[in-house]
Structure 1
Amino acid sequence: MSIKKVRYYLFLKDIVVLSLTAFGGPQAFLAMLLERMVTRRNYINEDELWELNALCNMLPGPSSTQLICAIGYRVGGPNLAYLSLFVWILPATLIMITAAMLINFLQENTPGALNFAKFIQPMAIGFIIFAAQKTIGKMVQTTEAMVLVLISAFVSFFYSSPFVFPILLIFGGLSTSIKYKNQPKMERDQPLRIDWANFYLWGGVLLFAASIGAVTQNSSVLLFENFYRNGSLIFGGGQVLVPYLYAEFVDFKHFLSSEEFLTGYAISQGVPGPTFSISSYVGALSMREFGTIGFIMGGLIAAAGIFLPGIFLIFFVIRFWDQLKTYRPVRAALEGINATSCGMLIAAAYLLFEPMEANAINILMILGTYAILQFTKISSPAIIAGGIVLGIIVNYVSTIL
């Protein structure tokens, strides 16, 4: 076996390890990448890692998955990058499909089955509030950005249609791009040259899926288009995906109940790998009417739809990123896009709480989860496991009494 093939094999093996052990959110994930990809294996250097991370955060889609694929692209080109994508998302996808099947089975066969999740549903809102606080602290640095956060939160709350979100993102980006003169100038070695192939691929798949879905009304095609569209519009990571999915699949299409959605979101917080894996859970339940095959197909279709656009876009941009980042309006627009995403996250927390009973227990679980995340180092999986165990105990005691 050649040295190159051995290096590729080791790289994929490292991705498998990460897919099974990457708990703790983006900060923990980046620390693991730094230790394994840079320090131990030297696939790339530290400066390259931070630059690729910044690039992925600038693009729509799952930033952690894009970062894995970008490193794979640097190490072995497109083929290794696509293999990395498959290896990275497969464990979490299968876990969330299984979770969807289990939740549906319990609901159909055991009255009140979701009582075991009675605590992790409000806990999920605690996770979102914590994520919103961290995201705002990182991304919102100016008065203009905070105004955009408030506008976005207000509009997202009162008009929670999935078609409103892209308009908000465009508005946010344009409103701050006009301040490009505040950005430092960067030297340009040569004119910008763009290879449009992957951009055409991204746009072509979107138009093709939308056209075929509109003509045939096939549920599988429509599901793929829904997730592909969402994957093309999400800035800010998995937490920002929540309002999109909730608005489209709970409020708009009623494929899931609020309780099912919150249970799935809470479970996804205890699963290693990409946070976008919540999509497989939503996709599986969206096709439950077709039985076991529907669960599996729905979960896999959702995973393909949510992850592919971000990968097409990172492959498109990475080829000319060194030139593109010299343009100040591009960097300035990110402030507005990120601020708008934060506003959507605030609205999501309230929209998810609205259907729940506003009792002392739910409020206590929300605040308690936030406090644990904020002031302790207890991991997300341990918090979720504790909530499930507590729910089982309370449910068991209540049946005895």
Structure 2
Amino acid sequence: MNKGRRLIFLRDVLQLALTAFGGPHAHIALFLEVLIEKRKYLTEEELLELNALCQILPGPTSTQTITAIGFRLGGASLAYWTLLIWCIPAVCLMIILGLLMIYAEQYHISLEFTKYIAPLAVAFVAAAGLKIGHKVIKDTEGVLLMLLSAGLSLLAASPYLFPLILLAAGAFTSWRHHREQGEYERAPMQIHWGNFVLWIGVLIVAALLGYFTQSTVIRLFENFYRNGSLIFGGGQVLIPLLYTEFVEFKHYLSSQEFLTGYTMVQAIPGPVFSFCAYIGTLSLKEGGIIFAVVGGLTAAIGIFLPGTFLIFFVIRFWERLKHFAVVRASLKGIVAASTGFVAAAAIQLGTPIEWSLPFIATVLIGFALLMTNKVPAPIIVVLALIFGIFLG
């Protein structure tokens, strides 16, 4: 990719970082629209394969997917720029929100006007699920795998179940269809272990430094790096673990602060994992504004770094790995199962909401507007906030 094309790609990434609402599943639909259908950087099949790969790995799925796209187009340097441009706007917004929460707490300012954001998030995920399902589910087998993965993820609600479901679905379609794929000419596969070693090394060093120094900043980094290394299934899976650790166990945040931040992260574009910057900001609020900002940046680096190391490790030999028929056949099942997670995510987001007629109307109207593709997502979010102000 030449320099001009690289700059256009990074401009597209910035556009997505400023407009991609709705979480990782909605992000993939936008990636398809902007990066594939409009710009044709990759084929639709290549994007869905990369997304399926990132579903198997721990970490922020949409962030890893767009970083992998950058790597495919321009190598490691473009991938790093892609990662930074994609993450920085959302991280900055969540740090600012954390500082505003500190201010609101000091002056007893109500945030009731944000109440329509949570049901709107359900509409975002539901619309994304329908769009993606229409593209990737081609037969009865795919529908059954999608429904089964959605049901299992809802019943068992464990972050460690996600990769098992994906691997099981992939193994099933690999067993069923690998003979249909034929064989490509295989090239020798060389695995570079550098990023894998970095991932493990940083995890061990951060844990040891946190234990021996008892530094609040280092321990905060270790907390988020550990969570980022263990979370499968995206930001929705991360939420209950963060709540348990930072609200119930460490008491860094109140329940109201946590839930307000989680609601507001639905109203900003970019990765849902940026919510961690908000938690980091409030976790170190006792040290003043500078310390709170450091906490937000530390949490953001900690949560995004492990997934980055892992995708940089795997993407280097992914193309050669796909040459095996059993791997190519498995992608059909993995993509179908990951689509089922979208349906489950919409239900999970809606479960804690105390449903009323205005909330139901918000979901239905938001869903209808999103499916028409005529009203930009930021405008829909702003309208929800305005309704919250006037109907509050």
Q: State if a TM-score over 0.5 links the two structures.
A: yes
Asked if the contact 2:224–2:303 (Cα under 8 Å) also holds between the matched residues in 1, the reply is: no
**Map of 1:181 onto structure 2:** 178
Rounded Cα–Cα distance in structure 2 between residues aligned with 1:35 and 1:351: 30
**Map of 1:332 onto structure 2:** 329
Rounded Cα–Cα distance in structure 2 between residues aligned with 1:264 and 1:48: 32
Mapped pair 1:247 → 2:248: no
**Map of 1:237 onto structure 2:** none
Rounded Cα–Cα distance in structure 2 between residues aligned with 1:64 and 1:355: 24
Cα offset, 1:35, TM superposition:
9.9
**Closer, same or farther: CA 375–53 of 1 in aligned 2, 3 Å:** closer
Mapped pair 1:127 → 2:124: yes
Q: How many pairs does the alignment contain?
A: 369
Asked if the contact 1:162–1:248 (Cα under 8 Å) also holds between the matched residues in 2, the reply is: no
Cα offset, 1:387, TM superposition:
0.9
Cα offset, 1:144, TM superposition:
4.0
**Map of 1:227 onto structure 2:** 228
Asked if the contact 2:68–2:311 (Cα under 8 Å) also holds between the matched residues in 1, the reply is: yes
**Map of 2:19 onto structure 1:** 23
Give the aligned residue type for 2:100: L
**Map of 2:99 onto structure 1:** 101
**Map of 1:374 onto structure 2:** 371
Rounded Cα–Cα distance in structure 1 between residues aligned with 2:178 and 2:135: 22
Cα offset, 1:370, TM superposition:
0.9
TM-score, normalised by the number of residues in structure 1: 0.75
**Map of 1:264 onto structure 2:** 264
**1:202 alignment partner, SS class:** helix
**Closer, same or farther: CA 84–342 of 1 in aligned 2, 3 Å:** closer
Q: Percent identity among equivalent residues?
A: 35
Give the aligned residue type for 1:224: Y
**Closer, same or farther: CA 30–201 of 1 in aligned 2, 3 Å:** same
Cα offset, 1:389, TM superposition:
1.4
**2:19 alignment partner, SS class:** coil
**1:178 alignment partner, SS class:** helix
**Map of 2:24 onto structure 1:** none
Rounded Cα–Cα distance in structure 2 between residues aligned with 1:143 and 1:211: 51
Asked if the contact 1:153–1:346 (Cα under 8 Å) also holds between the matched residues in 2, the reply is: yes
Give the aligned residue type for 2:175: I
**Closer, same or farther: CA 303–137 of 1 in aligned 2, 3 Å:** farther
Rounded Cα–Cα distance in structure 2 between residues aligned with 1:246 and 1:325: 33
Structure 1's unaligned 5+ residue stretches are 39-45, 235-240, 396-401
Structure 2's unaligned 5+ residue stretches are 21-26, 248-252
**Closer, same or farther: CA 170–369 of 1 in aligned 2, 3 Å:** same
**Map of 2:313 onto structure 1:** 316
**Closer, same or farther: CA 97–77 of 1 in aligned 2, 3 Å:** same
Rounded Cα–Cα distance in structure 2 between residues aligned with 1:88 and 1:80: 12
- Which range is displaced more, 259-268 or 289-298? 289-298
**Closer, same or farther: CA 99–70 of 1 in aligned 2, 3 Å:** same
Cα offset, 1:160, TM superposition:
2.8
Rounded Cα–Cα distance in structure 2 between residues aligned with 1:135 and 1:287: 39
Cα offset, 1:90, TM superposition:
1.6
CA deviation map 1:227-262 (0-9, x unaligned): 2332xx34xxxxxx2421233224676465574255
Asked if the contact 2:159–2:237 (Cα under 8 Å) also holds between the matched residues in 1, the reply is: yes
Q: How does 1:151-300 map to 2 (within 5 A)?
A: 151-181=148-178, 183-206=180-203, 218-230=219-231, 233-234=232-233, 241-250=234-243, 254=247, 257=256, 259-268=259-268, 271=269, 273-274=270-271, 276-285=273-282, 292-293=289-290, 295-300=292-297
Give the aligned residue type for 1:102: L
Mapped pair 1:357 → 2:351: no
